[in-house]
């Protein structure tokens, strides 16, 4: 299976909020406390929907992870010759002579620099410093695409005029690249809500080794059913529980209770009942590049993952713990709040968006 991860998310998420003083802190580790994601979650199992999906919107669009090896957003994805290094970016004089189809073949970074009238290409050069021709092919910025697709409507193509009267064409993927880059590197939110820790060891060939089980199954179900089922909001999950990081937005789920029995001796404190649950989660997947929007078309890519786990309930029917049954399970969950304004190199990014 092709690995389509982004950079190591945990190292890029600054000011991360973890759990502090939960009234259920004995049921799971602080790092797995659902109150990291919200203090107002419903905890009674019978009050939690067994299925749900994010509120219908123009968000949650497929996009690219912009591989560092290919030049990241310096990649000329729409060009006949697709390159991301040693770009011969046009001077002002040359750009004024170029046609719209010729300008369309430039990289997202080059187009933005031209749009802002910066013919010395500061964004392109900044991207050069972040990209890496020696990176693994799976390394990119899914940690930017994931929150961008959750927070902003899918971009539509635009032609915008720069200060010198040059019309700059942007395809949908150009704008997706720029907003994903901003969330990956330029946007410092006061708080990133992250539940669970990244595993730095293990893999498909030795998946039973070296991975601490800090994502409690009962806590996971609480977040899933509250955030998506009740609030209609998604969250990002590292769907690969080992050392690689595959960030994807969760957008839909369906759970089934397949068995019910008493609590084990090693169940969470206060647990009197155990429910065995099978859950199918739908997540948004990458799809490459497109000039037009992809939502509502076959180019919108969504996949599913199946989880099986136990949820432990106390005498009031509240979820107090749980255990994983399936080897498949998320490594950590997180979300990043929406940028209300754009600053720095990409301060005019809002003019390209639909929201």
Task: Give domain limits for the chain.
Answer: 9-57+195-336, 68-189+340-352
Q: Determine the Cα–Cα distance for residues 210 and 202; give it in Å rounded to an integer.
A: 6
Q: Determine the Cα–Cα distance for residues 142 and 72; give it in Å rounded to an integer.
A: 11
Closest CA to 73 of 186, 179, 184, 177: 177
Quick one: pLDDT at residue 349? 97
Quick one: pLDDT at residue 301? 95
Q: Determine the Cα–Cα distance for residues 263 and 88; give it in Å rounded to an integer.
A: 66
* CB distance 37 to 195 below 8 Å: yes
Quick one: pLDDT at residue 57? 83
Quick one: pLDDT at residue 138? 82
Q: What is the pTM of this model?
A: 0.87
User: Per residue of the chain (355 residues), what is the pLDDT tens digit?
Assistant: 333 333 334 334 444 444 443 444 446 777 788 888 888 899 999 999 999 999 988 999 999 999 999 999 999 999 999 999 999 999 999 999 999 999 999 999 999 999 999 999 999 999 999 999 999 888 899 999 999 999 999 999 999 999 999 999 999 999 999 999 999 998 877 667 888 777 665 554 445 444 666 789 999 999 999 999 999 999 999 887 766 677 999 999 999 999 999 999 889 999 999 999 999 999 999 999 999 999 999 999 999 999 999 999 999 999 999 999 998 888 889 898 899 889 999 999 999 999 8
Quick one: pLDDT at residue 23? 42
Q: Determine the Cα–Cα distance for residues 355 and 193; give it in Å rounded to an integer.
A: 23
Q: Determine the Cα–Cα distance for residues 257 and 271; give it in Å rounded to an integer.
A: 17
Kindly report, residue by residue over 41-92, the tens digit of the pLDDT.
Answer: 999 999 999 999 999 889 999 999 999 999 999 999 999 999 999 999 999 9
HSE value, Cβ hemisphere, 13 Å, CA-based, for 67: 19
**Cβ count within 10 A of residue 302:** 15
User: Tokens 């389509």 map to which residue?
Assistant: 4
Quick one: pLDDT at residue 121? 98
- C-alpha distance from residue 105 to each of 79, 174, 266, 346 (Å): 4, 10, 61, 20
Quick one: pLDDT at residue 202? 53
| Residues facing residue 52 across a β-bridge | 253
Quick one: pLDDT at residue 352? 97
Q: Determine the Cα–Cα distance for residues 302 and 252; give it in Å rounded to an integer.
A: 10
CA angle 167, 171, 174 (to 5 degrees): 100
CA trace torsion 255, 257, 261, 266 (10° rounding) = -10
Quick one: pLDDT at residue 195? 84
Q: Determine the Cα–Cα distance for residues 319 and 13; give it in Å rounded to an integer.
A: 29
Quick one: pLDDT at residue 3? 37
DSSP string, 104-170: HTS-HHHHHHHHTT-TT-HHHHHHHHH--TTS-TT-S-HHHHHHHHHHSPPP--EEEE-TTS-EEEE
Alpha helices in 188-279 (DSSP H): 217-223
Count helices and strands (H / E) in the chain: 8, 11
Quick one: pLDDT at residue 25? 42
Length of the chain: 355
């Amino acid at each position: 299976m092709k690995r389509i991860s982004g950079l190591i998310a945990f190292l890029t998420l600054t000011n991360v909020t973890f759990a502090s003083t939960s009234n259920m802190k004995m049921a799971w580790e602080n790092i797995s406390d659902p109150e990291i994601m919200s203090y107002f979650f419903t905890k009674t199992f019978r009050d939690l929907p067994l299925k749900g999906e994010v509120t219908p919107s123009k968000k949650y669009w497929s996009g690219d992870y912009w591989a560092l090896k290919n030049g990241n957003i310096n990649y000329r994805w729409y060009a006949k010759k697709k390159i991301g290094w040693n770009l011969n970016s046009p001077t002002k004089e040359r750009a004024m002579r170029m046609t719209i189809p010729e300008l369309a073949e430039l990289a997202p970074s080059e187009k933005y620099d031209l749009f802002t009238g910066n013919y010395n290409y500061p964004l392109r050069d900044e991207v050069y410093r972040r990209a890496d021709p020696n990176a693994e092919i799976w390394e990119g910025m899914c940690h930017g695409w994931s929150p961008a697709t959750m927070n902003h409507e899918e971009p539509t193509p635009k032609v915008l005029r720069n200060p010198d009267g040059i019309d700059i064409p942007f395809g949908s993927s150009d704008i997706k690249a720029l907003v994903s880059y901003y969330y990956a590197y330029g946007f410092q939110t006061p708080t990133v809500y992250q539940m669970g820790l990244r595993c730095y060891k293990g893999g498909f060939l030795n998946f039973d080794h070296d991975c601490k089980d800090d994502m409690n199954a009962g806590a996971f179900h609480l977040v899933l059913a509250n955030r998506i089922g009740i609030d209609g909001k998604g969250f990002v999950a590292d769907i690969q529980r080992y050392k690689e990081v595959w960030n994807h937005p969760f957008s839909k789920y369906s759970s089934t209770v397949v068995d019910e029995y008493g609590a084990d001796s090693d169940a969470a404190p206060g647990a009197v009942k155990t429910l065995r649950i099978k859950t199918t989660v739908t997540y948004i997947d990458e799809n490459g590049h497109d000039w037009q929007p992809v939502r509502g078309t076959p180019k919108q890519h969504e996949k599913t993952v199946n989880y099986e786990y136990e949820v432990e309930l106390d005498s009031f029917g509240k979820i107090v713990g749980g255990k994983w049954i399936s080897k498949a399970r998320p490594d950590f969950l997180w979300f990043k709040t929406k940028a209300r304004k754009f600053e720095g190199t990409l301060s005019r990014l809002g003019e390209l968006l639909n929201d």
